[in-house]
Structure 1
């Protein structure tokens, strides 16, 4: 296992492809109902209550979340909510969006149920100036090998919110070499249903990159071979907003060297935010 430089001998082409990835990544972050549009997070109680920015009354029981529109105009998937609506969701899975005018209320399950309001007029969205990154470097594309488990294993990890945990299925391990030493990372299934996803920290975490985690998506293994392109290591939503409940990396996914590639600590998290027009 070694750094794969032959495929990226044309550095201009490599940089162009990375720039395309970066533009698409920032376009996704700037979506009017994306993570930067979050303005609140509320945990539902077992008694119907009203919450700021979320019309209707909301509550939960052991199995599901509920909303009673109470005359408010709410829709789910374009269909009006005309009475009490029940949402039974998978823990740590994708949520459901309830539209209320210009805002969307996300219903999600993280042990208990929560609602988060996505508002296109959110200050964080209005002030978004892109994501600072290290310069792309072909040497940070590293060849590795995927070693599948006999059966996918459920792995429990912590969260950036104290007291929460997430459970993900791990299909196997990824092994790779760096500076003559071998490293092993637990891999989860990719967020879009294909490929692999790795949560990790490294020696830059809490220094130049977000302290809690970064994520790296890998294409599906080709005869067991995978490419770890650390230039595309990205921040999770919790790096941008306090209204996220992101998972922490599993034990062992802490790399002992500095991965000087991928996304840096967001401007929004820096005490002395530089002018993005002059930032590298």
Structure 2
């Protein structure tokens, strides 16, 4: 009973904030997703990542371990998803990237924070950054055939991660007034991303549900297995291991649908994956958290 209540306390705020965005749109109120997403990804999330890293008490060796574990786990996930797509004779450009890269920002970061506190958030931003780098290179290459290293370097969240890692490694700190200002900006990120997630899901329209259910269930199984294996191979401490597994198991991100629209792949089944995997995560993520806590 205690573990069920603990998991409910962790997951309920996440899904309640997403529900705010969902019903906000359904009630007919205006919400400019493009503006909010740009504000979050270019300002608020980078500040959140940078402050989390410079304030973290995690040893640099532990951060290096989870970085390598994340790379290894995502490599396994991508191979597993590629094999799945090939076996089902689906289009590689449409399915592999969405199935491989989950919603580690909108859902993964708040779950890590609520479940494991600031230390968990420190680990989570590293996994998030690794995912972002892979998504902006291999992910875009899969969808469009043209990944760009320059684009990765220009992404504020990647720059914030690298700079935060440098400050952590050297033991540097920004002036208190600047850290506090960035902290305030970063505090916007999590509620803003969760509400935006709800808004985006409310606006998606898709009929590709049956296939999406099967793929979403298999995606969770592949991701959890890859995460568990990586935690064993790299001998991660319990909190880092739990954070990695939860981050990998997050549902298909709304950005996957936006990229499909942008690069001309079939966006309808991706929209189906976003909706179904997010609904499935209401059940799957609490079960995973109950297992790893």
Mark the structure with the bigger radius of gyration.
1
Q: Please state which structure has a larger fraction of its residues in helix.
A: 2
Alignment TM-score, normalising by the size of structure 1: 0.23
Q: Please state which structure has a larger fraction of its residues in strand.
A: 1
| Larger relative contact order (Cα-Cα within 8 Å, sequence gap ≥ 6) | 2
